[in-house]
A = this chain, B = another copy of it.
Amino acid sequence: MKLPRYKRDSLVSYTLGATLTYELIKTAPEQITRIFLRPDIEIGHDLSRIISEAKRLKLDIIESQKPFNVLNAKGDCLMIAEFNKHSSELNHREPHVVLVNPSDAGNLGTIMRSAVAFGFKNIAIITPAVDFYAPKTIRASMGAIFHLNVQEFSSIDEYRQQNPERPLYAFMLNSTAQHLAEAAQSAPDNYSLIFGNEAAGLPANYADFCQSVFIPQSQYVDSLNLSIATSIALYSFRQI
């Protein structure tokens, strides 16, 4: 069985875990190329249900330890799906979440989970950025990634050219920043919420073409964690 290590330019990626795999089976079974099952385990009720569903969909199930070793899947990972990466485009008539140079797979996955929780379906990523299809990102998203359109852009200008005439809200501190609660209350449709990199935040010039927004916070912390700040913003602007 041929199974190279996962790389960013691989055409396939992997769900490391039974729950994640089940999420993919329910959401986009047509993307699945094969399913790997650890050979040495006792099959309990939950796993048995997932296997039945995979068999019903005529998915290829292979018992083998090797993929678990190659993909460095930890002891509690009993099942892996290999699936074709799928390119998707943003829906122009819906709100967008725009992440500028996100660098941490855990943060990106957590933001995806919050986005889906609060009814957002479109995420733009401005590169350079962490690989949104990396198994670690998928795992942190708890499968939320399968409910999202995710599209990469090489710059914010490219994003703006392809997505014109949208109100843009940039989360950053400056003298004209609006309180999150006010911004959320007065938002029209089809807006974009823009968040900077974990360490650097957003460049100051974003204020030239965006309404800047701040999350009120005490002087005793430097900042909020990126996935926390983003989730609070998505909750406030929620679409559900």
Contact = CB atoms under 8 A, between A and B. Distances in A.
A118 B216 CA distance: 8
Interface in A193-240: 215-218, 220-222, 224-225, 227-228, 231-232, 235, 238, 240
A218 B113 contact: no
A172 interface: no
B218 A240 contact: yes
Contact of A225 (B113, B118, B216): B113
Contacts of A118: 217-218
A144 interface: yes
A149 to B, nearest CB: 14
Nearest to A147: B220
A22 to B, nearest CB: 11
22 contacts: A110-B228, A113-B225, A114-B224, A114-B225, A116-B220, A116-B221, A117-B218, A117-B220, A117-B224, A118-B218, A119-B218, A142-B221, A144-B220, A215-B235, A216-B238, A216-B240, A217-B240, A224-B231, A228-B231, A231-B231, A232-B232, A232-B235
